[in-house]
Structure 1
Amino acid sequence: MGRITRLRDATAGLMFAACAPISALAQQSDWSYQATIYLFTPETNVSTETAIGTLEGTLSFSDALENLDLAFMGTFAATNGQWSILGDYNYTDLSFSNSAPTPNSSGLETSLTTQFLSGFLGYRVLSTEKSTVDLAAGFRWFKTETDLTVLPGAAPGRSVNVNESWTDPVIGVRARFDLADRWSGAAFFDYGGFRSGSETWQVLLTADYEINDRWMIRGGYRYISFDHEIDGDDFKFDQSGPLIGATYQF
């Protein structure tokens, strides 16, 4: 027991010694941070080209919350002078039906779980009293587990499953500008893929209201799109609609 105690104490001492300079550096640095939790309630469109034809599922904005099984959406940003780091994670689990019949089927059921993570390193290229502009480069990782089930009609029912993940390089530009007392706005655009069979892009517009030095609320509009070839078949996923969130600054 004595040896274990000494080993535990030594390990704790080493951890403290290692963390102390990091903590001191953090206290001396000029980094500022923002953490945001937000709700994105978009119209969702998913389609895939298969040997049996094109299968498409659509969930309108008005039905999004009703059909939402689980979701988490958040961003984290760090800024130091002209440099910035931004991460954005989105997880959604949706199940919905499109009951409009066709000559061969009585409708389509869609179940999809999607995750995407975007990471950027930004550099400020313009700064005025009222506005800033940053250029950014990074990546976007996307993972989907999608089931499309064609309900039987004149033709028998059939199902298609897409379970895949991939990562694309992405470049972007972000602009922020003051609107009025406590109000500001932001616009962000990015594009990625840069290879045959994979493309992604996004537009994000927000209006932000600063409650105090720590808290800010924001609302806006987002469109994000993914187009990727999987085993020779074209898979498309896009979401567009309003968002609302709360940001803590420290």
Structure 2
Amino acid sequence: MNRLATFAVLPLCWISSTCAAPPSAPPDALGGYQATKPDWALQATPFLWAASLRGSISPFQRGSTVDVDKSFSEVLDKLNLGGFLDLRARYDRVVFSGNLMYVDTTGGHASGPLSAFQIPGFGVTIPPGSHIDGKMDSTQFMATLLGGYRVMDNPDFTFDLLGGIRFWHVANEITATVTHPLIGHRTASYSEDFSWFDPLVGARIFVPLNGAFSLQSEADIGGAGIGSDYTWSVLASINYTFTGNLSASVGYKALKVDYDHHGHVYDTLLSGPAIGITWRF
């Protein structure tokens, strides 16, 4: 299976896609109007997020901070495995949602003469003019868990207030071979990982349109220095319902996080279009 197929089947960078049933079947729609007695409504949405990546990253405590600006095609080219999944539930006016992202990438091999610097794991400073061959593997996992209450619930418009947490885990491993007359030929690997939690507040709106179409928008903000300095995400999607149990959505999502603690820097913006398929049960 090629990388694009893996990327699509195990749907990557931080879209949550919720699709609603048309007004004629409101009990099945997590985003829509609840006209009958309360009951549980559940749905799962694997999705493809064609996200570009921009920002500044320092993968190691003793490493330099580097600027990153990669298009979706560049991110995809380095992808080993990526997965995105959105889960939602509702009982009466109480709503829950979870969003998962897993990305495993490998940096391309780089070689050439380098200035003096320190690579963790070598135990020596690399002399100026050294020649290096190496790669870096990076794994990112993000989970957002939200709960809230539907403060407005009518056939033409719903509005949810949300609160929860976002968890990040970033792991990096560098493997490099350095050659120089002063140190000879050396190969070493080194890895580090770091994690943090961010508190969040947010809101979600849902608007049914004509027929099987609907619109949805969601936003959250948090961090406040508890984990990251700040984080936010926004999404907007247009949804189409095929049956009471199956729908699709197309939209746009952006996810920002600014984390800078203990020598680790992860200040990035993931943004791009997204498509998803929703199953209700």
Instruction: Please report the TM-score for the alignment, with normalisation by the length of structure 2.
Output: 0.67
Give the alignment partner of residue 89 of structure 1, picking from 94, 97, 100: 100
Which amino acid in structure 1 is aligned with residue 214 of structure 2? S
Cα drift, residue 118 of structure 1? 0.5
Aligned counterparts of 2:141 and 2:221: Cα–Cα separation in 1? 18
Q: Describe how 1:37-52 pairs up with structure 2 within 5 A.
A: 37-45=46-54, 46-48=56-58
Larger displacement relative to structure 2 (194-203 or 90-99): 90-99
The structure-2 alpha-carbon separation of the partners of 1:176 and 1:108, relative to structure 1 and needing over 3 Å to count, comes to: farther
Cα drift, residue 139 of structure 1? 0.5
Question: What residue in structure 1 maps to residue 152 of structure 2?
Answer: 126
Aligned counterparts of 2:78 and 2:100: Cα–Cα separation in 1? 20
Residue 163 (str. 1) matches residue 172 (str. 2): no
The structure-2 alpha-carbon separation of the partners of 1:235 and 1:66, relative to structure 1 and needing over 3 Å to count, comes to: closer
SS at match of 1:64: helix
Cα drift, residue 119 of structure 1? 0.5
Give the alignment partner of residue 204 of structure 2, picking from 171, 174, 183: 174
Question: What residue in structure 1 maps to residue 252 of structure 2?
Answer: 221
Question: What residue in structure 2 maps to residue 144 of structure 1?
Answer: 170
Alpha-carbon displacement from aligned partner over 1:83-129 (angstroms, at most 9, x marks no partner): 11101111011224498x9x969999653210010011121112232
Residue 185 (str. 1) matches residue 211 (str. 2): no
Question: Runs of 4 or more off by more than 4 Å in structure 1?
Answer: 49-53, 103-110, 147-152, 158-162
- Structure with greater proportional strand content: 1
Q: Contact between 2:196 and 2:227, CA under 8 Å: does it hold in 1?
A: no
Which amino acid in structure 1 is aligned with residue 86 of structure 2? T
Question: What residue in structure 1 maps to residue 270 of structure 2?
Answer: 239
- Specify every segment of 5 or more residues in structure 1 that has no aligned partner in the other structure, as ranges: 1-27, 153-157
Question: What residue in structure 2 maps to residue 15 of structure 1?
Answer: none
SS at match of 2:77: helix
SS at match of 2:224: strand
The size of the alignment, in residue pairs, is 221
Question: What residue in structure 1 maps to residue 39 of structure 2?
Answer: 30
SS at match of 1:34: strand
Which amino acid in structure 1 is aligned with residue 73 of structure 2? S
- Specify every segment of 5 or more residues in structure 2 that has no aligned partner in the other structure, as ranges: 1-36, 116-130, 179-187
Aligned counterparts of 1:116 and 1:143: Cα–Cα separation in 2? 7
SS at match of 1:126: strand
Instruction: Please report the TM-score for the alignment, with normalisation by the length of structure 1.
Output: 0.75
Percent identity, aligned pairs only, is 27
Cα drift, residue 64 of structure 1? 2.9
Which amino acid in structure 2 is aligned with residue 134 of structure 1? D
Which amino acid in structure 1 is aligned with residue 193 of structure 2? N
Which amino acid in structure 2 is aligned with residue 128 of structure 1? N
The structure-2 alpha-carbon separation of the partners of 1:142 and 1:111, relative to structure 1 and needing over 3 Å to count, comes to: same
The structure-2 alpha-carbon separation of the partners of 1:137 and 1:242, relative to structure 1 and needing over 3 Å to count, comes to: same
Query: Cα RMSD over matched residues?
Result: 3.3
Aligned counterparts of 1:238 and 1:161: Cα–Cα separation in 2? 24
Cα drift, residue 234 of structure 1? 3.2
Residue 67 (str. 1) matches residue 98 (str. 2): no
Q: Using CA pairs below 8 Å that are at least 6 residues apart, which structure has the higher relative contact order?
A: 2
